[in-house]
Amino acid sequence: MQNKDSKGSNKTWIWIVVAVIAIAAGAWWWKGRGGEGAEGPAGAASAASGAGAGRPAGGRFGRSGPQPVTVAAVQKRDMAVVVDAIGSIASANTAVVHAKVSGELKAIYFHEGQPVKAGQVLALIDPRPYEIARDQALATLARDQAQLENARADLARYKDLVAKEAAPRQQLDTQQALVRQLEATLLSDQAAVDNAKLQLSYTRVTAPIAGQAGLKQADLGNNITPGDANGLLSIAQTQPAAVVFAVPDARLARIRQQLGDKQALPVQAWDRERRSKLAEGRVASTDNAIDATTGTIKVKALFDNKDGGLFPNQFVNVRLQLDTLKDATVVPVAAVQRGAPGTFVYVVADGQVALRKVQVLATDGDATAVQGEVKPGEQVVIDGADRLRDGGKAEVIKAPAGAASGASGGRGRRGAGAASAASGASAASSAGDGERPRWESRVPPEMVEKLRAMSPEDRRAWLQEHRASAPSQ
């Protein structure tokens, strides 16, 4: 009997444990669902703020109050039509300096990496063999010149004798031919002297162009020849410097029109991070064919580069200004929306939202020029537009610095909107009973401080959106 009672007691305890586990699992599941009552994040935020007890939680568009938004004013100003591209610096001219005569390298007069002038002596090849060749040519010239003078004197005597019929005419003709032969020999000797002097001058290696000297390719004492593949050094002309970049072929007509009308096309070169402007120049020419694989055409721009800050093969970001729109209607890039109505913006006036269709004309950085139903001075929504609809209500709030910068940049507007609405949620919640509110365990840790710094209305809006967009479990 005792064994049966013991077994029955054990079964009872097992069922009690199973029931406790089931209750705990159900509570955990209910908490994971987001607490559809006042225990969830939205309920905790509403109780802590004390301002939204009478508002339904609703879905994404279920809020009865106005939607918090951030706005910016429409401006009217000149707008540059800019094409952004990637380019590389190229020297206007590049020369590889080769020796023109063979010989031992006796001296180097340039400094690597330093500027050189056109005609500047860069190196000296042993000149002695060429000086000897020059002297030999001069000696030959002097000998043949003496022979010519003697032949001319004999010719004068023969002419006198023939005139007196004291010598035959044939002897006079022979002497005249000898004089002409020696004159031709003298011309050849003079050419040999000039060539010897030229070869001697080549022993002084000079810079063919002005530019920046590269690294030397030969050392003192080396025997260099005109056939050396690398030459003695290379010189890159960097003043002016050229930038070669590609633009879409749709821009070609405008570029050629500007060049044909002798109108300047300003070009700016920026560093890799687009933080520092390196130089300003102008378009000089275009390539003679479009690249069929990319649908682009190469454009060359020239920069004075007086400070020498541009180096050949340097990577740069290029901004080509094709035109300027006068008195254009300009809005932030973040304000432009695209959807079923087309391209549009939301305008807020006295808390009322109005959808205005626009056409984008040009974009430059964080601003875009539009044409349509907006007027200068009107307030367009730059953050929070994803939850708006035409004819709805909106409440203008001041965006935090981080959210404003994100919206103005035109990238990640939804993420910036969540950050601006979530910039601080638990100031009122923590002020209620001094305990840590439950919603803090249901939001990412990095959002807690932002939510604490938020107004109750903005916090409640973010929590409702967070709950509505959370997937069902």
Which of these, 153, 145, 149, lies nearest to 188 by C-alpha position?
145
- Rounded to whole angstroms, the Cα distance separating 120 from 279 reads 28
76 is a domain residue: no
Alpha-carbon distance of 305 to 300, in angstroms, equals: 15
Q: How many domains is the chain partitioned into structurally?
A: 4
Judgement on whether residues 103 and 220 belong to the same structural domain of the protein: yes
107 and 218 housed in the same domain? yes
**Low-confidence stretches of the chain (pLDDT beneath 70):** 1-11, 13, 17, 26-65, 399-450, 452-461, 464-473
Where a domain ends, among 172, 203, 224? 224
Ranges assigned E (strand) in 134-255: 204-206, 211-213, 223-224, 233-248
| CATH code for the domain in which residue 219 is found | 1.10.287.470
- The pLDDT, as a whole number, for residue 400 is 54
Structural domain includes residue 382: no
Identify the pLDDT of residue 345.
Answer: 87
Same domain, 177 and 62: no
Is 309 a member of any domain? yes
Would residue 333 count as lying in a domain? no
Residues 136 and 192 in one domain: yes
Q: What is the pLDDT of residue 32?
A: 52
User: Residue 246's domain is classified under what CATH number?
Assistant: 2.40.30.170
Residues 137 and 217 in one domain: yes
Amino acid 452: pLDDT: 66
Residues 217 and 105 in one domain: yes
pLDDT at 49: 39
Whether residues 313 and 243 fall in one domain: yes
**Cα separations in angstroms, 192 against 135, 180, 203:** 11, 19, 17
249 with 164, same domain: the answer is: no
Domain boundary among 297, 322, 347: 322
Contact 421, 462 (CB under 8 A): yes
> Phi/psi of residue 440, each to 5°?
-65, -25
| 246 and 130 within one domain | no
Taking the CA atoms of 293, 294, 297 and 298 in sequence, report the sign of the dihedral they define: negative
Instruction: State the pLDDT at residue 190.
Output: 95
Residue 471 has what DSSP assignment? P
Does residue 425 fall inside a structural domain?
Answer: yes
Same domain? For 132 and 153 the reply is yes
| Residue 419 shares a structural domain with residue 460 | yes
**Backbone CA torsion sign across 463, 469, 472, 473:** negative
Q: Which of 377, 374, 330 is nearest to 354 (CA)?
A: 374
Its domain, for residue 189, covers: 98-224
Q: With respect to residue 413, please indicate whether it lies within any of the assigned structural domains.
A: yes
Q: Tell me if 237 is assigned to some domain.
A: yes
What Rg value do the Cα atoms of the chain yield, rounded?
45
Residue 18 and residue 123 in one domain: no
Give the span between the Cα atoms of 87 and 94, in whole angstroms.
18
What is d(CA 5, CA 320) in angstroms, rounded to the nearest whole number? 94
Q: What is the pLDDT of residues 256-287, one digit of tens each?
A: 888 888 888 899 899 888 888 898 999 988 88
Residue 354, in any domain of the structure: no
End-of-domain residue from the set 169, 189, 224: 224
